[in-house]
Structure 1
Amino acid sequence: MRIRVLAVLGSLLLVIVVLVSSVLMQSVSSDATADVQVNRLSSLNRFVQVASHASGNDDLEMLQLEMDTYSQLYNEGLLIVVDDRQLISGDIRADDAAVKEIVGAAALNLDRTEIPEISPLTETVALISRPFGNSAQVLGSVTMQVNLEPARARVLQASAFILVLTLSIGFIFLLLADRLATWVLRPLHRLDDSVQLLTQMHQPIPLVEQGPPELRALSRSVSSMAQTMATSRQQQQELIAETSHQLRNPVAALRLRVDLLRMRLTDEASLAGLHAVENELARLEMLLDGVLRLASAEHRLTEQKSDKTDTEVAHPEKPTSAFQILAEEIERQSAMAQKTGNTLTFEADSTSASEDVVWCHEFDLQQMVSELLENALKYAPGTEIKLAVHTSPTTNDIVICDQGPGLGKAELERAGERFWRAESVRGTPGTGLGLAIVDRLARANSGQLIVGSNGDAGLKVIIRLPRAQTPKGTDHE
């Protein structure tokens, strides 16, 4: 915006400079022309007076001497026609076409005494003439070749000075306009930064009140709005977490009462109804647990964003071995895999243990892998589940593939939304929060969750995390 404002102001200043310079240079040119006109007409009239009174050879010789003196002094030629004789001094030539024309006009009793306006680009000489005689006839004429070079040089010098002066003044005003534009626009840039930070990181930044009073008032309003929105978001997160936590107590008490009630009931109908209540309680407990973990993941994401700028990436204190986390999770989930009939396979070569190191909090990575493995065991029972780590120069991909029902193209686009579940798995217990939790945790660690199709059947889920470079030949404990 500053460049556009300066471009507009610069264009206006340039127009003003051109107009002012033109007016001043025109004034200088007119003054120089008038000065030369007055001086040369005075000299021309004096020679007309002398020539009109010259009657003999002596007078003509004196006139010739005075003409030569004038030409040497002013470097201007003279041509005087008197008694059918031509007296010449200086560089003027009688056979020149322009000289013939002006002498002929003088013979017809026509004055030519106007000097063209002098400018830096004007010609260096001009011709003026005046006839003399009596009321009955023209007896002669005086033609003067005016040297305009000195006047043109003065006009050129004055014009250059005017141009430099007006450009300097225009540049000074442009600098002042730049300072003024910076003073006005700096608060707008800070406002834009504050809104961007609030949008991306949900964290307001304090605004220094600068600029005109209107922008200061706007800064105060934006600061107040940003703080209100950040406080509201924080309160919402705390409310969700506290509500989920507080609901655990009545749910636990309700679970205890249901267990006591089961001990007292004996008929099948009552026990069947009680079993349905237990299922709903289990679903509620699962939902509360998922909401708590999602709130924690989103809080981690907000904290991570607020701890880094646009040009830097915040990392944990030490890197984490994806190989080790996957091995631990496979061991931990092996019992559940046997129960569901799944086979867990881990694809890794001999160098994985030294190349799979990622910048990620160990607990976060464990949570993400655990969520994805539990989803695969739940939605793809009795199939093979493959885990792998693919290494690239800058990232490591943790890949979990199953052979379950998978998702359609439209469903893949919605994977990761909170509380969303595919139609094909609505009958399976779940909350629709698993992928949302993994997505938030991955982004909180400067990573990415990618959900795609595993060929003809099943899902291929990738956790892409920044790779941590380790010295060659070292292993992780």
Structure 2
Amino acid sequence: MRTRLLAVLVTLALAVVAAFAVPLLSATADQRTQQLVISRSSDVDRFVVLAQQAVDSGDATALNADARQYSSLYSEGVLIVDAQRQPLVETGGLTSSDPEARTVIEATLRNEPEAPVERIRPWSDTPVLFARPVGTGTRVSGVVLLRASVTAAASDVAAAWSAIAAGAMVVAALFVLLAVLLSRWMVRPLVELETGVLAVAGGRRAQVPERSGPRELRSLAASVNRMSDAVVESANQQQRLVADTSHQLRNPMAALRLRLDLLGTEVENRPAYEATVAEVERLERILDGLLALATAESTATRLAARADDEPADLAAVVAERVDAWRLSADEAGATLVPCAGHTEPLLVRTPESELAQILDVLLDNAVHHAGQGATITAAWESASDSVTLIVTDDGPGLPPEDLARATERFWRAGGDGAPRGTGLGLAIAREQTRARGGVLELRAVEPHGLQVRITLPAAVTQ
């Protein structure tokens, strides 16, 4: 943005400088051209008077002497002819045989208007012919022709243009400097605001400076800081709520479980007692799931979810958790395929503990819902900026209409009468994945089965 703003300001500044400099250059050249015309026209008029006197007296001696002195002084040719085109004076290399001179003489004898002198520029070098008729408008007795050099005038124009160009460059440089300072003053607060907003979005506290830039941007910076403080306070309150809820609910549940255990030896109706214990265990699982989900959602919004956490080796975590779940898979009648060996770490921007929790949810679902005889595989795919964890089973899978609902809270395959599960596992995994900038995706496997894909940002290796 700063580059675009600077380009606009510099373009406008250069346009303003050019709008003043170009007319000034033209005016300077016109002024010097006019000075040359006035000076040489005066000289020609003087020679016209002398030529008329010579024609009247029949003696051109004084005229010749004056013309030669002029040519010697200014290095410019003078040609004076009579009405019969016969030369009376030829000096400075200008003769009546010159084609251009003859053309001008003929036009002057016919009283044709003299062509205007072209504007003199620094590169002009063509001499200019000045011509005047000798005599009156009704009786022309000769022509005075003067070939004026434009070298001195061109040098004067070049010097004037150089001074104007130097001044224009100085002014342009000042304008550019002003544009740089102005763009920095305007854009720097925007960059700081962008950095602050990205910091809040990325899970970091932001404090944008409020003492620079236009008043509107300073006000916006103050609003961003207040928003950051509000987000921090909201996240802290949510964390405290999770902690308080955990404490307040776990204690009564633990006391209830303890009383049931103490009554276990005295209860005669064992089926009712065992059903009560199973219901308490189910409530404990639901409570644990709710607390885990609340913690995951808090992590997704709180500022503690930073990108600078210690990265984890996904391949190593997969190998460790697959080994831990192999016995449970055997008990459920499923086959958990060992992971292939890896030579290089697959680092992801997720702490090892959270990655293990996510993988436990996926393996738990696969082990207990794929059914007997199912094969469960855990693998991964790596890209330039991400790593994908893939858990696949060839169990019954889910119908297409259930794939989109599987990550909803309390949703369980088979309806409310499902024998096991709280319906919170995939919801927890989804929130933990989202907290780390990842994506959880469910896919159907042909001819049957389910595949869960967790794509996480790859950690940058130093």
TM-score w.r.t. the length of structure 1 is: 0.79
Q: Aligned residues: percent identity?
A: 32
Aligned residue among 318, 324, 334 for 2:320: 324
Instruction: Work out the CA distance in 2 between the residues paired with 1:131 and 1:303.
Output: 97
Of the structure 1 ranges 31-40 and 433-442, higher mean CA displacement relative to structure 2 is found in 433-442
**Residues 289-328 of structure 1 deviation map (CA, whole Å, 9 limit, x = unaligned):** 11222333455565664253xxxx7426999453233212
| Counterpart contact for 1:68–1:90, Cα < 8 Å | yes
Q: Name the aligned partner's letter for residue 3 of structure 2.
A: I
Relative to 1, partners in 2 of residues 1:116 and 1:357: Cα closer, same or farther, differing over 3 Å?
closer
Asked if residue 378 in structure 1 is aligned to residue 386 in structure 2, the reply is: no
Aligned residue among 429, 435, 441 for 2:426: 435
Q: Name the aligned partner's letter for residue 205 of structure 1.
A: A
2:290 aligns with 291
CA positional deviation for 1:97: 5.2
2:395 aligns with 404
Relative to 1, partners in 2 of residues 1:220 and 1:434: Cα closer, same or farther, differing over 3 Å?
same
| Counterpart contact for 2:78–2:145, Cα < 8 Å | yes
Asked if residue 46 in structure 1 is aligned to residue 23 in structure 2, the reply is: no
The count of aligned residue pairs is 453
Relative to 1, partners in 2 of residues 1:284 and 1:154: Cα closer, same or farther, differing over 3 Å?
farther
| Counterpart contact for 2:317–2:355, Cα < 8 Å | no
| Counterpart contact for 2:334–2:367, Cα < 8 Å | no
- Aligned pairs (5 A) from 1:18-57: 18-55=18-55
Instruction: Work out the CA distance in 2 between the residues paired with 1:385 and 1:288.
Output: 31
**Residues 192-216 of structure 1 deviation map (CA, whole Å, 9 limit, x = unaligned):** 2212222232x33111122123322
Instruction: Work out the CA distance in 1 between the residues paired with 2:355 and 2:336.
Output: 19
Aligned residue among 228, 233, 236 for 2:235: 233
CA positional deviation for 1:43: 1.3
1:6 aligns with 6
Asked if residue 364 in structure 1 is aligned to residue 365 in structure 2, the reply is: no
| Counterpart contact for 1:386–1:400, Cα < 8 Å | yes
Instruction: Work out the CA distance in 2 between the residues paired with 1:200 and 1:347.
Output: 36
Of the structure 1 ranges 173-182 and 211-220, higher mean CA displacement relative to structure 2 is found in 211-220
Asked if residue 461 in structure 1 is aligned to residue 442 in structure 2, the reply is: no
Asked if residue 188 in structure 1 is aligned to residue 198 in structure 2, the reply is: no
2:209 aligns with 208
Relative to 1, partners in 2 of residues 1:373 and 1:325: Cα closer, same or farther, differing over 3 Å?
closer
Q: Name the aligned partner's letter for residue 198 of structure 1.
A: V
Instruction: Work out the CA distance in 1 between the residues paired with 2:175 and 2:337.
Output: 72
Aligned residue among 147, 150, 154 for 2:149: 147
- Aligned pairs (5 A) from 1:256-267: none
**Residues 189-243 of structure 1 deviation map (CA, whole Å, 9 limit, x = unaligned):** 1112212222232x33111122123322221121112211232133224323422
**Residues 373-405 of structure 1 deviation map (CA, whole Å, 9 limit, x = unaligned):** 221233223232423445769887654332333
Instruction: Work out the CA distance in 1 between the residues paired with 2:12 and 2:347.
Output: 57
- Aligned pairs (5 A) from 1:406-421: 406-409=397-400, 411-413=402-404, 415-416=406-407, 418-419=408-409, 421=411
Q: Any idea what SS the aligned residue of 2:38 has? A: helix
Relative to 1, partners in 2 of residues 1:91 and 1:435: Cα closer, same or farther, differing over 3 Å?
farther
CA positional deviation for 1:39: 1.4
1:179 aligns with 181
Instruction: Work out the CA distance in 2 between the residues paired with 1:12 and 1:467.
Output: 46
Q: Any idea what SS the aligned residue of 2:443 has? A: strand
Relative to 1, partners in 2 of residues 1:173 and 1:465: Cα closer, same or farther, differing over 3 Å?
closer
CA positional deviation for 1:246: 1.7
Of the structure 1 ranges 92-101 and 238-247, higher mean CA displacement relative to structure 2 is found in 92-101
Q: Name the aligned partner's letter for residue 337 of structure 2.
A: F
| Counterpart contact for 1:447–1:466, Cα < 8 Å | yes
Instruction: Work out the CA distance in 1 between the residues paired with 2:345 and 2:269.
Output: 58
- Aligned pairs (5 A) from 1:22-171: 22-55=22-55, 59-82=59-82, 84=84, 85-86=86-87, 87-96=89-98, 98-109=100-111, 112=114, 114-120=116-122, 124-133=126-135, 137-171=139-173
Q: Name the aligned partner's letter for residue 226 of structure 1.
A: S
| Counterpart contact for 1:129–1:141, Cα < 8 Å | yes
Q: Any idea what SS the aligned residue of 1:378 has? A: helix
Relative to 1, partners in 2 of residues 1:68 and 1:427: Cα closer, same or farther, differing over 3 Å?
farther
What residue ranges of structure 1 are gaps of 5+ in the alignment? 470-477
Q: Name the aligned partner's letter for residue 14 of structure 1.
A: L
**Residues 44-95 of structure 1 deviation map (CA, whole Å, 9 limit, x = unaligned):** 1221122121259994244234323323432322221236431222343534
Instruction: Work out the CA distance in 1 between the residues paired with 2:226 and 2:444.
Output: 46
Q: Any idea what SS the aligned residue of 2:60 has? A: helix
Q: Any idea what SS the aligned residue of 1:306 has? A: coil
What residue ranges of structure 2 are gaps of 5+ in the alignment? none
Instruction: Work out the CA distance in 2 between the residues paired with 1:261 and 1:198.
Output: 53
